[in-house]
Amino acid sequence: MKKIGFIGCGNMSQAMIGGIVKAEIFQGKNILVSDLNKKSLETVANKYGVTTTIDNLEVAKGSDILVLAVKPNLYNVVISQIKDTVKSDVIIVTIAAGKSIESTETTFGKSIKVVRVMPNTPALVGEGMSSMTPNKLIETQELEEVIRVFESFGSTEVVEEKLMDVVTSVSGSAPAYVYMFIEAMADGAVLDGMPRDKAYKMAAQTVLGAAKMVIETGMHPGQLKDMVCSPGGTTIEAVTVLEEKGFRNAVIAAMRRCTEKSKEMSK
């Protein structure tokens, strides 16, 4: 029976483990987790029945798929620690921004199967967006295994690695832009007299519903916008103000800067 391991037990790991167990991709007993935070380990052990340890080598030795879920600055330390212990055919999954496949391969110092993945925080509620790039050693069936893991808590796309910096701006960092938009919408409603709790709920549900419309109808966002904009109505008035204030340009400029920063971090 194959086993999946996690080195690091933060929010993203816990979101992934929750999705994996719920989708029955791996049973709890076949999920290995290591971390120095014993409280986090106790939480996932009690909730999902996984095997936990503070020893990274124990997880590395027993895993067929190994997720490196530590901060980017710890990657070199962790890889140096486990590189001689991992199985020869292990699939290494990286989820850290700025960590290229080449840098991971170089740190391991040998031929190794790597899938670079950029997930995002909505994975915590089962609505993550994960983009991934396999290296040349990953076979089709192995990539499909990794895809199944990440689709247990959201959607996935396979992209060329050169697009990973763009992925950072359009999905990795993008939840922050959406939260700001929801907050601004709610502030506007509060300004006009609506209680804040109702304003947040209505703004957030509207964003959720609008996003679902784009995904499930397959219609162009501009077409969906036009359907709401009645001639001489309230919506087109609001859209006109957004255009006057440079709404689209601000979003595009922010994303370009985010992509540039991701490229800087990758050097």
Torsion of CA 174, 175, 177, 180, to 10 degrees: 180
Give residue 98's pLDDT.
83
DSSP state letter for 169: I
Question: Are the C-beta atoms of residues 169 and 256 closer than 8 Å to each other?
Answer: yes
- The model's pTM is 0.91
DSSP string, 208-261: HHHHHHHHHH---HHHHHHHH--TTSHHHHHHHHHHHTTHHHHHHHHHHHHHHH
d(CA 141, CA 7): 23
Q: Tell me the residue type at 256.
A: R
d(CA 77, CA 224): 49
Q: Where are the domains of the chain?
A: 4-164, 172-266
Torsion of CA 94, 96, 100, 106, to 10 degrees: -60
For residue 188, give every residue at least 6 positions away whose Cβ sits within 8 Å of its Cβ, in sequence order, or none: none
Q: pLDDT tens digits, the chain, 267 residues: what are they?
A: 899 999 999 999 999 999 999 999 999 999 999 999 999 999 999 999 999 999 999 999 999 999 999 998 999 999 999 999 999 999 999 998 888 999 999 999 999 999 999 999 999 899 999 999 999 999 999 999 999 999 999 999 999 999 999 999 999 999 999 999 999 999 999 999 999 999 999 999 999 999 999 999 999 999 999 999 999 999 999 999 999 999 999 999 999 999 999 888 876
Three-class secondary structure of residue 14 per DSSP: helix
Q: Specify the fold of 4-164.
A: Rossmann fold (3.40.50)
* CATH number assigned to the domain with residue range 172-266, chosen from the 4 options 3.40.50.2000, 1.20.140.10, 1.10.3730.10, 3.40.50.300: 1.10.3730.10
Integer CA distances (angstroms), 194 to 55, 92, 191, 201, 203, in order: 52, 50, 7, 11, 12
Closest CA to 94 of 69, 77, 113: 69
156: Cα separation from own chain's centroid: 9
Integer CA distances (angstroms), 50 to 26, 245, 263, 265, in order: 10, 51, 36, 34
For residue 144, give every residue at least 6 positions away whose Cβ sits within 8 Å of its Cβ, in sequence order, or none: none
Give residue 265's pLDDT.
81
